[in-house]
Amino acid sequence: MKPIQVGLLGAGTVGSGTFKVLQRNQEEIKRRAGRGIEITMVADLDTARAREVAGDGVKVVSDAREVIANPDIDIVIELIGGYGIAKQLVLEAIAAGKHVVTANKALLAVHGTEIFAAAHAKGVMVAFEAAVAGGIPIIKALREGLTANSIQWLAGIINGTTNFILSEMRDKGLDFATVLKEAQRLGYAEADPTFDIEGVDAGHKVTLMSALAFGIPVQFDKAHIEGITKLAAQDIRYAEQLGYRIKLLGVTKRTAKGIELRVHPSLVPSKRLLANVEGAMNAVVVHGDAVGTTLYYGKGAGSEPTASAVIADLVDITRLHTADAAHRVPHLAFHPDALSDLQVLPMAEVVTSYYLRLRVADQAGVLAKVTGLLATAGISIDAVLQREADEVGGEGSTQTDLIILTHDAREGTVDEVMAELQALPTVLEPIVRIRKEELK
């Protein structure tokens, strides 16, 4: 059978890895897919770069629409990124009856409902393994491997840039701004790292995983997103003294009231495997009712790791494209007419535990007042750490840090009690609140 023909939009790092891996492993890939897979056309505004990536025998164009219009192309790989022209091109490729492979988490997390509906109507596949956690086959695991389970929750380190920064902050005791600069110098962080450090990239990825896990529509606008820019080195140190590491987690949970969908820095017990994922690596923990807790670990970015995911999708499509569309695996794991109407909860309804750091006047009765307000609100304390005033503010200091770990509490209740605590004259600076995930 003649090879399936693929058109590539965007000849950057991942595109180049896709060429290399397809070429290097072509025989094995063919034996797995049942026929050859060939990229026969590439579009990139930088045609010189595209020609270098593609090598001989591949048609290079600057206009992506030429690829989409080519009747010989069966699958279009979109590696342009972003919500702009990429959205237009993906919708046009679908309308032209092409299957689509994309690494574009931003596009799918924000416009997934529209894109999957268009693909469903046209009977084509949109595959996105590369969109979440790079080379880790987490989409496949959620959509197929864990399909017997009622998934209860998942939590992941799904942004390598921020995990690298947090690892460096902890290792070297440095503050966020210093480590970010170093990460940019070393090429671990983009020149504009906003999406990474503000948690947006992780938000896109956890939104997609939440849809797959719980059979809900993709709803990035309902996700609660906080990044790591406000994290202080001293909180990383205090957390460590209490037996925790701070990680930027994407968390989504099924609760009796609805779905939690959130990204924020979290204390994770140091003994958990997730707490020990360091540097730019990614990891996702998924808890299903039948399987229990499972862990997926690997490279979340990079040329060949991401190409590994792109090619896995190409093979899937090659195997399935002649199958009746009704017999293929649904895009979001659940059949589109069987999606759940479970609501994504507002943050006030989220229940988790907390790390609170209060800079307080080192006076009699302060601890009693603080714990009294927490007790009145029904918030149970798990641990308290008080530093020596000298250690915190230097010799003769009259201030100290009071660190409180709570048991599970409703976030809305914690907000209310934090406002009361903040109003105490003995609480001298804005209270630091970091959520804590025990991941039991």
| Strand extents, DSSP E, 255-291 | 259-269, 281-288
CB of 389 to ligand HSE, least distance (A): 40
Nearer to ligand HSE, 74 or 196 (CB): 196
Q: How many CB atoms lie within 10 A of CB 185?
A: 9
**Which tokens hold the place of 278?**
């360091």
44 binds ligand HSE (CB under 6 A): no
Q: How far is the CB of 136 from ligand HSE (least distance, A)?
A: 11
Minimum CB distance to ligand HSE smaller for 159 or for 266: 159
Query: What's the count of helices (H) and strands (E) in the chain, helices before strands?
Result: 16, 17
Q: How far is the CB of 135 from ligand HSE (least distance, A)?
A: 11
Point out which span in 33-41, 58-66, 157-165, 253-261 binds ligand HSE (CB under 6 A): 157-165
Query: What mask of x and - would describe binding to ligand HSE in positions 288 to 327, judged by CB under 6 A?
Result: ------------xx--------------------------
Looking up tokens 């896995």, which residue turns up?
A: 312
Q: What b/e sequence results for 371-408 when a residue is b if at least 16 CB atoms lie within 10 Å of its CB, and e otherwise? A: eebbeebebeeeeeebbebeebbeeeeebbbbbbbbee
From 156-164, 229-237, 322-330, 345-353, span contacting ligand HSE (CB under 6 A)? 156-164
The one catalytic residue in 87, 98, 105, 205 is: 205
For residues 159-198, which are near ligand HSE according to CB under 6 A?
159-161, 196
Burial category of 275 from C-beta neighbours within 10 Å (exposed 0-12, middle 13-18, buried 19 and up): buried
Annotated catalytic, 205?
yes
Tokens matching residue 373: 């307000």
Q: Is the dihedral of CA 82, 84, 87, 90 positive or negative?
A: negative
Q: How far is the CB of 230 from ligand HSE (least distance, A)?
A: 19
Residues that bind ligand HSE (rule: CB under 6 A) add up to a total of: 7
Q: How far apart are CA 129 and CA 312, in angstroms?
A: 8
Q: Which is nearer to ligand HSE, 185 or 327 (CB)?
A: 185
- Rounded CA-CA distance 50/54 in Å is 6
Least distance CB 218 / ligand HSE (angstroms): 16
Q: In the complex, which residues of this chain contact ligand HSE (CB under 6 A)? A: 159-161, 196, 201, 300-301
Residues assigned a catalytic role? 205
